[in-house]
Chain A
Amino acid sequence: MSWASDVRRMRAIAWKDLTAERRSRAVLNAVTFLGVLILMLFGFALGPDRDALRDAAAGALWLAILFSGILAFNRSYQVELDGGALESLLLYPGSRWSIFAGKLLANLAFVFLVELIVIPVAMVLFQVQFPEGWAWASQLAVLVLGTVGFVILGTFYAAMSSRSRSREVLLPLLLFPMMIPVLLGAVESSTSLLRGDPMREAGAWMGMLTAFDIIFLTAALVTFEYVIEV
């Protein structure tokens, strides 16, 4: 099967997932509200003191994204499991990585949409003023790199957890230990960027995040057939 037809299949799967999601929209709203709620909880937990809140802003934001975004992954395979569609999906010719890549794109769109709401709310709740000059561009880069790493592994592990027992527990247990480097990288670089990156550490962290994304995107694409075919 040619590479081009696999890319077309990837786009078809992404289109299918997003159309299905657009139709039922409910899950997107629910996850977004949950994200905002978690931010509020952090606000209450960390106390009204401005400095404490500002220091914890990046950490609270990323934990809100992780805890709410994770709900999207199992659901994204549920759309295949409901009508027994996974079997017919596997009967189409073509390689298996396009299924993963398609779902990855759809889940990325989903999580970015959630972040579109959650981030402004976080900036308001945690009194973080909009970074002036070019700082916002690197903050955006950190956000994208971190989210990509999160969604790659989330989509990958959900291919297993969605089809096994007690999947609500299994997915976080599989995913979150692997997320440590992303969490550290994203929170540390965001926090230091907020302070104008005094020790020039953001660049190094972003390098690590990029390496993490490349390594696990490759690993996921290569091993996905072993996960989906059995």
Chain B
Amino acid sequence: MAVGTMDLTTDVAASARGRTNWLGVAGILALAAAQLFVVVTSPPDRDMGHLQKIMYVHVPAAWNAFLAYFVVAIASLRYLWKGRQTDDLLAASAAEVGALLTGLTLALGMIWGRPTWGVWWTWDPRLTSTAVLFFIFIAYLLLRAFVDDPERRAQWSAVVGLLGALNVPIVYMSVRWWRTLHQIQSSPSTVDPAYAWGLRANAIAVLVMLIFCIRHRYESARLERGADDLVDRAALAAGRGREVTDG
């Protein structure tokens, strides 16, 4: 599969950037509004009182982190199938944002756990699975960092991304089995109605931010790849154009 050359020119990037920035601003406003709404209106929970407000950032972050990995998996699958560089760049951008979001989810989980159970880490099934997802993200990003050849890096990270995605449900299931067998308290049910609306609003706000970040990072990646292609094609043409001197 020949290397797809990049047809990106600066005007394409400029118009895209206009649209993306608007999305960023909207995301921030939505997030602020959603958080304000829940912090002000949500009733204290029966057993953990106001601590439940931490759920409004922790749970949406966790949902979107898994979603980010889903984007990595889909983009990786499409890259293996079509071989288009844009899918490779999309997977890389989604992985970067996803890893950060998973890290944040972990931190929030621990901040929530400390006052509730008195310890920073309790091997709670959801939190532990998120930790494993975090390491799968990190392995993906490290592989990309350690491989230089663009084609090899794209192909290898696509395969690693896919296998990682295959493992996410298995990890989640086995960690839950592992914990429920040993009957420790798990995080509260996050479905009772009074709670649900606030959660959905925040989840959507985080989703908007996720899309903005991935798109923005993706556009920068395409600009970088476009710059490399310009230089490479120029080097090719220059080499061929020059009068072939002695050996």
Contact = CB atoms under 8 A, between A and B. Distances in A.
Are A and B in contact, CB atoms below 8 Å, in the complex?
Answer: yes
B178 A184 contact: yes
A163 to B, nearest CB: 8
Contacts of B139: 173-174, 177
Given A160-B160, A178-B136, A223-B80, A173 B174 contact: no
A89 interface: no
Contacts of A87: none
Interface of B: 80, 132, 135-136, 138-139, 142-143, 146-147, 149, 151-152, 155-156, 158-160, 162-164, 166-167, 170-171, 173-175, 177-178, 181
B160 A173 contact: no
A90 interface: no
* Of listed A165, A170, A174, A226, residue having the most chain B CB within 10 A: A174
B171 A219 contact: no
A173 B156 contact: no
A156 B160 CA distance: 10
Per CB-CB distance, the 10 closest pairs between chain A and chain B, nearest first, are: A177-B135, A181-B174, A230-B152, A164-B146, A165-B146, A230-B155, A174-B139, A223-B159, A184-B174, A181-B170
B178 A174 contact: no
Interface residues of A, number: 34
B143 A174 contact: yes
A228 to B, nearest CB: 10
A20 interface: no
A201 B167 contact: no
Given A226-B159, A227-B155, A180 B174 contact: yes
Interface in A148-193: 153, 156-157, 160, 164-166, 169-170, 173-174, 176-178, 180-181, 184-185, 188
A212 interface: yes
A188 B181 contact: yes
A173 B166 contact: no
Given A165-B146, A177-B136, 12 more contacts: A157-B160, A170-B143, A174-B143, A178-B167, A181-B167, A181-B170, A185-B174, A208-B170, A208-B177, A216-B166, A223-B80, A223-B163
